[in-house]
Chain A
Amino acid sequence: MVGTGERVALIGPSGAGKSTLLGLANGTVEPTAGSVEVLGSDPAALSGAGLRRLRARVGTVHQHLELVGPLRVVHNVNAGRIGSWPAWRAAWSLLRPHGVPEVAAALRAVGVQERMYERTDRLSGGQQQRVAVARVLVQRPELVLADEPASALDPALTDRTMTLLTELAAGRGGSLVASLHDPALALRHCSRVVGLVDGRVELDAPAAALTLADLAAFYRRSG
């Protein structure tokens, strides 16, 4: 259960199920057993336009970014809101980019505004990661999911990105769930820490009640 306004850090050794949990929440992974409830609805019970509306309220920064390399940056950012656009606007925007000011603002927030019209696959790994964050910024979702959103960034940019994501979630009165490798980052930006081992929740505590030593002990225990 993730409550409204919570900022949850998912930690755990690799293979613990962090990405799978996030995938269940955004619908890219289907449950083999049990059910999932996202923003008060069961995605499995919805289809068509109803499912699309629910999905548009969930934004994800994927671990492998999942940007479309040959597209220009502006289109990759705009792709964040094609869920709320009619099909003709999505098509026309590929010829004449729609809503450029919002895209520019999002790119400025992550600091790559000067690459707006470049092919996305020409950008460095860190720049692409920031484009993926900008895509979520223009989507303005209520639930923000982030899978290692800062793995390719330097410490200063990492902090800035986490702040952007938490502000984004807070701005819509929503929540953030981020899988993080860096325990310090988890304690600094999140209100709650959930530790996964082999798909089970082995740790669940308010960040304020935890110290770095507690998290180091968790990692040692889980091998």
Chain B
Amino acid sequence: MTAVVERPAAPPPLRRSRVRWAWGVGALVVVVWSLAGAGLFSGDVLNPAGTRQLARFAAGALHPDLSGDFRQVLLTSALVTIAYAALGSATAVLAGAAGALALARTTWGRRRGGWLLARGLVAVPRGLHEVVWGLLLLNVLGLDPWVGVLAIGIPYGAVTATVFADLLDEVPRGAHDALRAAGAGRGAAALYGLLPQAAGGLLAYSSYRLECAVRSAVVLGLIGAGGLGYQLSLSFTSLRWEQVWSCVYALTALCVAAVVAGRAVRRRLTDPPPSAGDRPRRDVVLTGAGPATVALVVWSCWYLAISPAALVADRTRQQLTYLLGQAWPPRLSGPLVGSLLRAAVDTVQMSVIAVALATTGAVLLSGLAARPVHRAGPVRWGAGAVVRLGLLLLRAVPPPVWALVLLFVLRPGILPGALALGVYTLGVLGRLTAEALEELEPRPAAALTALGARPVAGWLYGVAPRAVGRVLVHALYRWEVAVRDTVLVGLLGAGGLGALLATALQTFDWPAVTTTLVVLVLLTLAVDLVSDRARDVVR
């Protein structure tokens, strides 16, 4: 026996994982194909005539408009944005809570068919961007504050319902099953056996949704819902660069405030301070967050002068019936389907370029963006702060604004749209990548430094192999988001399905709108599926 084990065996030959290589080569091919599709390897993409305008725009960064009048405008705009975000996410959380019961495996038990159907239905509201919902609702409700609220509430509600359902399903089932065995009904068992354990996760996710809703409210402003986004587009179209930059700084401050508040709540939820003495100590921030949220929602209703009457008005019902009658059946004519397919290809190429650019940039910047583990010199610290601030600015400005800026120096086409999305996604991915690095255990890399490795080699051997999986998973998630966001830049003429949708909406060509929406939802579903498989390979 032992003789067999002890014979020195030659090491087996190096075997690479075929699946991973296939995915890797495939991804590279798709990126090159997308760049070629954007015209990067053929013809002019630059428009040098616009450089002076770009320079004037950039110069505005140092001279934002801080006059008293404009400060007043910014303040009221910010309040409108906050009100939309608050009401939109409140609607989403309520809808999500109700929808979660319909989507949880717990509810369906062994009836898998019903569960799959419910999940399939919820994919439709999820697959459409907030702005698409906004434009559709505008045609039903007219210029009413409900448009902005529901445009956030519907897609967010669908996502929230899915996440809430997953949270409920992941809760340990012991208590619930014991209650059921003791004769409790489904509802009572869920209320006492599941909800208390899932509460922390549900609240944490709700606060995260509020953060996202601030960005969405800004974007909806760009299409006319009012608030900071609206002010930004007004200043932009009147070429008032110093006002544009004031808006950008106000947006950044608002996003930072939302993130800081959200993080404070979430940290307290996941990691509550120990209670001293025999009385349970209440956390002031958490206890205050409840009434504060209710007050915020009530104030938002008042500030936007929102009234339920608009939803049940006769005109609304007539308009909805008319639109649904017009929109069905969808148009399936050859030219439309052909141009939709071409637009779908453009959409995919835009999103691929955006994510490729963002991932590359995020990895290159991550070394500086991550807070150093060991004490660092003032130069390293300063560079890190500048990079982090830059990334914050990139993700605070909505992609359509970046697209408008890039159109100064780039010829129209899918490239400016792709770059605009890429710049915005870089802001998000840069932060996520830096966080991934900060969370790594520092000792293995320190061990390599201790045996004399250069910084580059230490990073290649000690840091990159451990972070690459997480970074790619984030990048794939952002790809799904980017596909939805292409609509946003497309509405402004950057091409893709968004541009076709804009044309169809402007000409009230409702059958074509339906077809476009169907293609859009199918495309997002397909991308989600591919991204899901790719994530499995990466993990």
Hey, which bits of chain A sit against chain B, CB under 8 A?
26-28, 52-60, 62, 64, 66-71, 74-75, 79-80, 82-85, 87, 90-91, 94, 97, 100, 104, 107-108, 113-114, 116-117, 139, 141
Contacts and interface: CB of A to CB of B under 8 A. Distances in A.
B378 interface: no
Given A68-B466, A90-B457, A90-B460, A59 B451 contact: yes
B461 A60 contact: no
B312 interface: no
B253 interface: no
Contacts, number: 106
B11 A28 contact: no
B461 A79 contact: yes
A71 B10 CA distance: 21
For the complex, would chain A's binding face be called helix, strand, loop or mixed by DSSP majority?
helix
Interface centre among A52, A59, A67 (most CB of B within 10 A): A52
Given A66-B447, A85-B457, A97-B14, 20 more contacts: A27-B449, A28-B443, A28-B446, A28-B449, A55-B452, A60-B450, A62-B447, A64-B443, A68-B461, A69-B466, A70-B466, A75-B461, A79-B462, A82-B451, A82-B453, A82-B454, A83-B454, A91-B457, A94-B461, A108-B8
B164 to A, nearest CB: 33
B224 interface: no
B456 A87 contact: yes
Interface in B416-463: 443-444, 446-454, 456-458, 460-462
A206 B52 CA distance: 80
B12 interface: yes
A55 B10 CA distance: 32
B346 to A, nearest CB: 34
B9 interface: yes
Contacts of A74: 14
A67 B465 CA distance: 11
A75 B465 CA distance: 11
Given A71-B461, A82-B457, A116 B11 contact: yes
Given A97-B14, A114-B9, A116-B11, A66 B444 contact: yes
A104 B466 contact: no
A117 B11 contact: yes
Contacts of A68: 444, 461-462, 465-466
Contacts of A87: 454, 456-457
A58 B451 contact: yes
Interface residues of B, number: 29
Given A68-B465, A116-B11, A55 B457 contact: no
22 contacts: A52-B454, A57-B452, A66-B446, A70-B466, A70-B469, A71-B465, A79-B448, A80-B451, A82-B457, A84-B452, A90-B460, A91-B456, A91-B457, A104-B10, A113-B8, A113-B11, A114-B11, A116-B12, A117-B12, A117-B13, A117-B14, A117-B15
Nearest to A83: B452
A116 B14 CA distance: 8
B450 A28 contact: yes
A100 B11 CA distance: 10
A82 B444 contact: no
B447 A90 contact: no
> Which 3 pairs from chain A and chain B are nearest by CB?
A83-B452, A56-B452, A66-B447
Contacts of A66: 443-444, 446-447
A11 to B, nearest CB: 23
B13 to A, nearest CB: 8
B427 to A, nearest CB: 27
Nearest to A100: B11
Contacts of B458: 82
Contact of B9 (A55, A67, A113): A113
B451 A56 contact: yes
Nearest to B458: A82
A206 B275 CA distance: 54
Interface string B101-128: 0000000000000000000000000000
A55 B9 CA distance: 34
Contacts of A80: 451
B466 A90 contact: no
B369 to A, nearest CB: 22
Nearest to A54: B452
